[in-house]
Amino acid sequence: MTAGSLFSAVATAGNQDEVPAPKVMGPLSGQPMTGAVHDVSEHGYIEEEYFVQGKARPLGPVNPYPIDQRESPSEKPAPYRTRVLIYRPAYDRGFNGTLVAEWPNVSTGRDAPVTWINTFDYAMREGYAFAVASSQKVGVDDSHTDQDLKTAQPDRYGSLHHPGDEYSYDIFAQAIQALTRSSNSKPGHTSKKRKSNAPLRDLDVERVVATGMSQSAQYLRYYINNIQAEQDLIDGFLPFVTAETPADQDDIWDDLAPVMWVMSESEANQVRREDSGLFRLWEVSGASHINYWLVHWAQAMDARDFGEDNPPWNRMIAGQYGQRAEGDPGTSYDVCGVNYFPMRYAYRAAMDQLQDWLIEGEAPPSAPRIERTVADDGSVTVARDQYGNAKGGLRLPVLDVPLVYYDISCGTYGSTHRLEEETINSLYSDRQAYIEELECAVDETVDSGYLLVDDAMDLLRRAQRADVTV
């Protein structure tokens, strides 16, 4: 029996159908760590922080892919106390019925709510409730950088405790249970009178989407394959950019719940499965594993939470795509760690498509795979166009009406390179000619379902000041 089947046996033996309902405490006063770096009240939203505590069951391996090959996984529940960050409409009339539960990424030694960072303006505009549940031990009380909640702010988080990542799957599920158990609409949950301080109070959750990025998506993959069938707690999954992704039809269940999987070009070194059943995969050309919008947000967050000397949040700088001139404040080309490709647009389009899939039953459009060749030794080479951008894949307009090319060879962060001025001048007679070509590409991408109208407008607004000179 494999480690995966051992854990599955433990989960089944523990009557996994009934997810325990933990105790919820809060909301806490004061500034939460890793909270929003902008004022969510401007969007009619509330940011609140809660503690969640209970006894968790060991439902999976510490490291899901490659799987932890322990012979004797623990079978005993263990006590925990963690925290959940909530972003919700201030009034029930602004709620669209969907709770997005994010498993935060902990690769940097602290919680990083990557999906929230890449989708927050769309999510608030469309009326989602968002919950960032601190699910892993590194983020709660065991960071190698001392940026876990308990170590960084012991006065606020000193009571938190995490028993280990084999319990993380159940901690995540219990956090969702705590948020949905008193909903009148979500099937399978007991309706109870809401307390005035309950996290979602007057909101009726109709559906739950689980999301996570990179290593967090690995845990969601294990959850889909080994836990979802037992719990049926989550209605849809939205994993982003993870190196260990499904390679063939047997690698992930496609008949349990809709799975909208989104990858960057950084992960194109693997040959992955085709769309089938309730599974869709988008490979986004030009995007690096970590995008600059995320980097800029994280810098502002770390400046506030850890006193680092970083610039404040500036959405104009964070959202540039290569249209600004070399030397503009906050703009750097040919620098490792600065990929300006607007990957956030793909995050939002994917979330919007999954929402329609859950409500209307219409699957998202498939997208072409990134063009690549696989050598006999398994090495992968991505095909590139004459400007240096990847061929194929899901293509946003900045690739087909280029001012730059995006390089993903520089670690997980990538880089951005301006085309030579001679090349730009040969492509566009002036800025207006560039904008007109971009508008045509934008219309086509919106019609294809890969770009939302609001993001199309954002892109075109930025293009109005593009550095295109003759």
pLDDT number for residue 50: 98
pLDDT number for residue 74: 73
> Which helix (H) or strand (E) is 103 found in, with range?
strand 98-103
From the first residue on, what is the mean pLDDT of each consecutive set of 10 residues in the chain (470 residues)?
37 57 95 96 97 96 73 80 98 96 96 97 98 98 96 98 96 96 52 64 95 95 93 96 68 89 89 87 96 96 93 95 93 94 99 98 96 86 96 98 94 94 96 98 99 99 90
389 closest CA partner among 428, 340, 429: 340
pLDDT number for residue 269: 78
161 secondary structure, DSSP code: B
pLDDT number for residue 148: 97
H-type helices in 207-263, by residue range? 215-226, 228-231
Q: Which phi-psi region, left, alpha or beta, contains residue 123 (left: φ > 0; alpha: ψ -120 to 50)?
A: alpha
What is the set of domains in the chain, with CATH numbers?
3-240 (3.40.50), 292-463 (no CATH)
Bridge partners (DSSP) listed for residue 382: 372
Report the alpha-carbon distance of residue 205 to residue 110 in Å, rounded. 29
Beta strands 45-56 and 78-89, pairing class: antiparallel
Tell me which amino acid residue 115 is: T
pLDDT number for residue 184: 46
Report the alpha-carbon distance of residue 261 to residue 241 in Å, rounded. 8
pLDDT number for residue 193: 44
- CB distance 240 to 262 below 8 Å: yes
- CB distance 168 to 44 below 8 Å: no
Residues 6+ apart with CB under 8 A from 457: none
3 burial via Cβ count (<10 Å: 0-12, 13-18, 19+): middle
Read off the tokens for 430.
């002036």
pLDDT number for residue 31: 96
DSSP reduced 3-state for 423: helix
- CB distance 264 to 412 below 8 Å: no
